[in-house]
Amino acid sequence: MRLHCDALQIDIPDRSLGQALSLTVEPGSRWGILGPNGVGKTTLLHTLAGLRQPADGQVVLGDRPLASWRRRQAAQHVGLVFQERHDDFPATVLETALIGRHPYLRAWHNESAEDIERAHLALKRLGIDHLAQRSLATLSGGERQRVSIATVLTQSPDIWLADEPTNHLDLHHQVEVMALLDEQARHGSAVVMCLHDLNLAARWCDHLLLLYPDGEACWGPRDEMLVTSALERLYDQPLITADIDGVPVFLPRAAAFSSTPFPPASFPSTSFPSAAAQGESHDTTRRGS
């Protein structure tokens, strides 16, 4: 199933509308959304998921506007990996993964044995099946992130919307998750992910959408988008570029540090209460007993 942005403009509070987006995410494709903090990547992803109304234009899922789909039906096709979840209601890892089956359950029906099997398989794929009965609240950041991805894997959508899917993950698990998304695309799903890591984008995406702070946007095949000068302007950050095994690699060029001290010397020192004045000891020296 394809996802189409039809002259789509997203609604960002206190900001004028940016460039209208007209692009199609085809089955099997892997799109990366790049841009600096606060530019609107999450807002766009939530608009594509139907969680927010567009400011103008529309999102088209398959052959009809997303707005005309029933939520439950749309959720059988579109899955969203949230950037951070703060829903600390008491649930186990398995119960959380099973949320992925909710779009398929009939009213007042419980999950079937097959649903539970799917959830276990997804947890296994993410290497966290041994945590199935653990409370979500006890997990590390990286384990939680893998539960979020396992939940969408249990949902098995045609279109994956993933907001910084490698958040909290160590290098090994970053590669595992990107390989999983790649596998989903090879099996015919479409993947759209917000990324901060240019190198992950260069290696794992085939299309990129660049969102600039002034509202400008450009999109297209990865190789046309990974132009160093355009990326430097995107992040307001000079880059060093290399080519390793045919894949471009980007590193931030070290910035010249500001020569202005903080706090400025002109500030009266009494503006910053000392630790002693606050009754705290900042002596971190370890002493033997």
Ligand X SMILES: Nc1ncnc2c1ncn2[C@@H]1O[C@H](COP(=O)(O)OP(=O)(O)OP(=O)(O)O)[C@@H](O)[C@H]1O
Q: Does 54 bind ligand X (CB under 6 A)?
A: no
Least Cβ distance, residue 163 to ligand X (angstroms): 7
User: Considering only residues 39, 93, 161, 202, which one is a binding residue for ligand X as defined by CB under 6 A?
Assistant: 39
Report, in this order, helix, strand and coil percent for the chain, each rounded to 5.
35, 20, 45
DSSP state of 40: S
Neighbours of 75 (CB within 10 A): 19
Neighbour tally for 5: CB within 10 Å = 23
Q: Does 41 bind ligand X (CB under 6 A)?
A: yes
What stretch of H or E contains 61? Answer: strand 56-61
| Region binding ligand X by CB under 6 A among candidate stretches 31-39, 114-122, 135-143, 173-181 | 31-39
CB of 77 to ligand X, least distance (A): 23
Using the rule CB under 6 A, which residue among 18, 40, 100, 103 binds ligand X?
Answer: 40
- Residue position matching structure tokens 């960002």: 12
Smallest separation (angstroms) from ligand X to the CB of 288: 45
Residue 12, interface with ligand X (CB under 6 A)?
A: yes
Q: Which two tokens stand for residue 276?
A: 């002693």
Q: Which stretch binds ligand X (CB under 6 A): 19-27, 32-40, 232-240, 266-274?
A: 32-40
Rule CB under 6 A: say whether 53 interacts with ligand X: no
Closest by Cα among 7, 121, 98, 8 to 54 = 8
Give CA–CA dist 198/32, Å, rounded: 9
Which one of residues 38, 141, 188, 220 is an interface residue with ligand X (CB under 6 A)?
Answer: 38
- The CB-of-164 to ligand X minimum distance in angstroms stands at 7
CA 34 – CA 209 distance, rounded (Å): 6
Which of 30-38, 201-209, 260-268, 275-283 is the region at the interface with ligand X (rule: CB under 6 A)? 30-38
Tokens 């997203």 label which residue?
10
The SS3 assignment for 191 reads strand
State yes or no: residue 37 binds ligand X (CB under 6 A). yes
Cis peptide bond N-terminal to 263, omega within 30: yes
Q: Which is nearer to ligand X, 42 or 151 (CB)?
A: 42
**Residue 193 CB, nearest approach to ligand X (Å):** 12
Whole-number Å distance between alpha carbons of 284 and 264: 26
Q: Please list every residue from 253 through 282 that binds ligand X, using CB under 6 A.
A: none
Closest alpha carbon to 123 in 110, 115, 114, 132: 132
Quote the CA–CA distance of 232 and 229 in Å, as a whole number.
Answer: 5
Site string for ligand X, 109-138 (x = CB under 6 A): ------------------------------
* From 32, 35, 103, 248, residue interacting with ligand X (rule: CB under 6 A): 35
Q: Does 214 bind ligand X (CB under 6 A)?
A: no
Residue 77 interacts with ligand X (CB under 6 A): yes or no: no
Binding region for ligand X (CB under 6 A) = 12-13, 35, 37-43
